[in-house]
Amino acid sequence: MTKILYDANYDKELVAKRNQCHDLCHQYNQLLPTAVKERKKVLQAIIGEMEDDLIIEQPFYCDYGTNIRLGKQVYLNMHTIMLDAAEIHVEDHVFVGPNCAFYTAGHPFSIEDRRAGLEYALPIHVEEDVWIGGNTVVMAGVTIGKGSVIGAGSVVTKDIPPYVLAAGNPCRIIRSIKEEARMKSDCQ
């Protein structure tokens, strides 16, 4: 992927969009959890594309919102952060634990570029039926494959293939999730 540097701190259009989104996130986070209709209305103003049956627990934070696509039956637990300078696409039936963060923005190694306030953004893609354990960070440019499980406390810096258990800092594949275990309960 090509990294294109831009200045997010002084581009007036980006700053205005972020401020508007931050205000909406603040509004969402102040609503009572039982104010379901009001919460959904504010979420529809924040999120670029979402299904009606998703659940986003409060508090929730994002930078633009318009770059977020959330599928059917997505569940984002408390304290989810989505820094969506690039697209964050979360497919159907994904569960995200508390205190998880998705960072599409990155900063160059060049000291001069960082001092100039430059950054880049790469998309994040979470395929269907993924479970992400609490306190996980997903970094820019990462895809997490269908049916995978990411252990709590992981830092996902590289793509994770489908149907694996992966965990750690940096996140590494621990084992495959076998075909017969994919649809069978672990609690039987």
Q: What is the CATH number of the domain that holds 52?
A: 2.160.10.10
Q: What distance in Å separates the CA atoms of residue 107 and residue 119, rounded to the nearest whole number? A: 5
Provide the domain count of the chain: 1
Q: Degrees (nearest 5) of the Cα angle 18, 22, 24?
A: 120
* 165 is a domain residue: no
* 61 is a domain residue: yes
From 79, 93, 107, 125, active-site residue = 107
What is the structure's pLDDT at 178?
A: 78
* 183 is a domain residue: no
* 179 is a domain residue: no
Q: Which pLDDT tens digit goes with each residue over 58-93? A: 999 999 999 999 999 999 999 999 999 999 999 999
Instruction: Supply the pTM of this predicted model.
Output: 0.93
What is the structure's pLDDT at 15?
A: 94
* 182 is a domain residue: no
Tokens in use for 174?
């621990």
What is the structure's pLDDT at 181?
A: 62
What is the structure's pLDDT at 3?
A: 84
Helix intervals (H) in 47-176: 111-115
Tokens in use for 158?
């590289």
What is the structure's pLDDT at 152?
A: 98
* 155 is a domain residue: no
Domain limits for position 99 = 6-143
The answer to whether 56 and 43 have CB atoms below 8 angstroms apart is: yes
* 160 is a domain residue: no
* 24 is a domain residue: yes
107 carries an active-site annotation? yes
What is the structure's pLDDT at 49?
A: 97
What is the structure's pLDDT at 10?
A: 85
Residues with pLDDT less than 70, the chain: 179-188
Helix intervals (H) in the chain: 12-30, 36-46, 111-115, 179-182
